[in-house]
Structure 1
Amino acid sequence: TWLAVVFLSTSVMAVMIGLTNEELTKQSSVVVVGSVVDMRAYWNTERTTIYTGVTIDVREVVRGEGAPRTLTVRYEGGEVGDIGLRVSDTPQFEKGEDVLLFLRPIENVAVERASDAAGAFYVVGNGQGKYSIEMNAIATRGGFSVINDNKGKVFKNVVPLNELKEQIRGVK
């Protein structure tokens, strides 16, 4: 009888195929800069999974149309009472945090309570589609590792915010 023990680093949350900022932009319907003003976790109707709704106060629409002044980002995971669910590649948010987000509207409301998903968005590329904006106008992202696909992709996880916004606006 063999026993295998696997140790995983907590510094790397997920390993995924990397998306460049150009790919994230092309897959997004809207890219916004805003602040996290509220977070609420809840059970789905069947009580089989937990979702979190993050309320974003939008300060700037970098690209796209149709983003309301206040929007909700939904993702799988969160804590309700003493029970928590963590999905490794989902973005993590903190109340008061300034963020740049690559977003698409949620279209499959069957996975959540329809009333909560109406008008909500999801982050394109999961954790890759969220940049935290630091006080010095530097945008950073992390909590995941990407697979090097040897196709010459450049993944910048720390970039000046103005440079990032210019890059997003320049995508054809």
Structure 2
Amino acid sequence: MKYGIFLVLVLSLLTLNALALSSPSNDNTELENNNNEPVGINICIDFIPYTHKELSNYSDTIVIGTVKEMLPPRWNTADGKQPNKLLHKLDYPDDIIYTDIVISVDEYLKNPLSSEELIVRVTGGTIGDFSMTTDADPSFNAGEKVLLYLRKDANPNTKDIGSEHFIVTDFYRGKYTLTEDGKAITPDETVTLEELLSTINQTDNNTNGTEASDNKETANKEAANKETVGKQEGFGSTIQSKRIPFMSSFWVLAAVFGAVPIVRRRQ
């Protein structure tokens, strides 16, 4: 009877181990999700907050306008589709989802362009069952009245994709929501539109100021990217492993060798 119980125990452990080894682990998990909710990745970015004057100086153009349309999110691949990579192999900023926002321009406050519409690109969006967000890029709503500090996209992973577009200077701090009572609002502050216009009007709009700002903006983004890489917990962290805990060959052998002395002692 003792040996029978011992053999049943060993066979049970071996069966569990075989089942565990046959189940896919995180290492073999692709961008798939059997649940209805999207698999989510949040990118954390630290950045240097600019003053109103710096926002104006470091922007290629500044506009007041209305959010006309939010285009469908796309991957920054040649065809806009999901990269052929495993989930944990995705690497920011090389692999991102971006969303283009169409802005109907009411007024140019700096370096006016001939176009009555602009495209503003932000990182983040949901494609199929996969979602990507950041804690730094601004969010937009259709019909929203905004004042935007904008720069040309210099990111090598997105700048040449699609038509001409801009990014928001200093992330969400460069996007102000305008209210009917003359307020300009960001998540960090509420000021008057008049105050922002006064600072913009005092700004020297020549190209020398813009050129001098490039070095600081580039250093800011590089620092943000390094910080982001350090903060990410791994792109596969949201996928739960299907492997049974501790059911490896090591633990099976340990159980077998541990049970032998017990049986002998009882004999």
TM-score for both structures, normalised by structure 1 = 0.76
* Aligned-partner residue type, residue 27 of structure 1: Y
Match for 1:62 among 94, 97, 109?
109
Deviations 1:77-129 (A, max 9, x none): 11122221111111111111111000112244x4138342x310011101110
Which protein has the bigger strand share?
1
Paired residue for 1:23? 54
Say whether the 8 Å CA contact 1:101–1:130 is kept in structure 2. yes
Paired residue for 1:152? none
SS at match of 2:141: coil
Distance 1:73 1:111 in 2: 16
1:54-133 → structure 2 map (5 Å cutoff): 54-66=101-113, 68-108=115-155, 110-112=156-158, 114-116=160-162, 118-133=163-178
Out of 46-55 and 28-37, give the one that drifted further.
Answer: 46-55
Out of 26-35 and 37-46, give the one that drifted further.
Answer: 37-46
SS at match of 2:134: coil
Distance 2:109 2:137 in 1: 22
Residue 141 (1) aligns with residue 173 (2):
no
Shift of the 160–78 alpha-carbon distance from structure 1 to 2, 3 Å rule, reads: same
RMSD: 2.0
Shift of the 114–15 alpha-carbon distance from structure 1 to 2, 3 Å rule, reads: closer
Deviations 1:8-41 (A, max 9, x none): xxxxx86542210100111001110001111121
Say whether the 8 Å CA contact 2:123–2:134 is kept in structure 1. yes
SS at match of 1:86: strand
Match for 2:201 among 136, 151, 169?
169
Say whether the 8 Å CA contact 2:45–2:134 is kept in structure 1. no
Distance 1:121 1:14 in 2: 19
Gaps of 5+ in 1: 1-12, 145-156
Gaps of 5+ in 2: 1-43, 84-94, 205-267
Which protein has the bigger helix share?
2
* Aligned-partner residue type, residue 161 of structure 1: L
Say whether the 8 Å CA contact 1:29–1:65 is kept in structure 2. no
Whichever of the two has the greater Rg, that structure is 2
Distance 1:106 1:96 in 2: 24
Deviations 1:122-155 (A, max 9, x none): 111011100011121210011x6xxxxxxxxxxx
Percent identity of paired positions between Structure 1 and Structure 2: 32
Distance 2:169 2:117 in 1: 18
Say whether the 8 Å CA contact 1:30–1:67 is kept in structure 2. no
SS at match of 1:17: coil
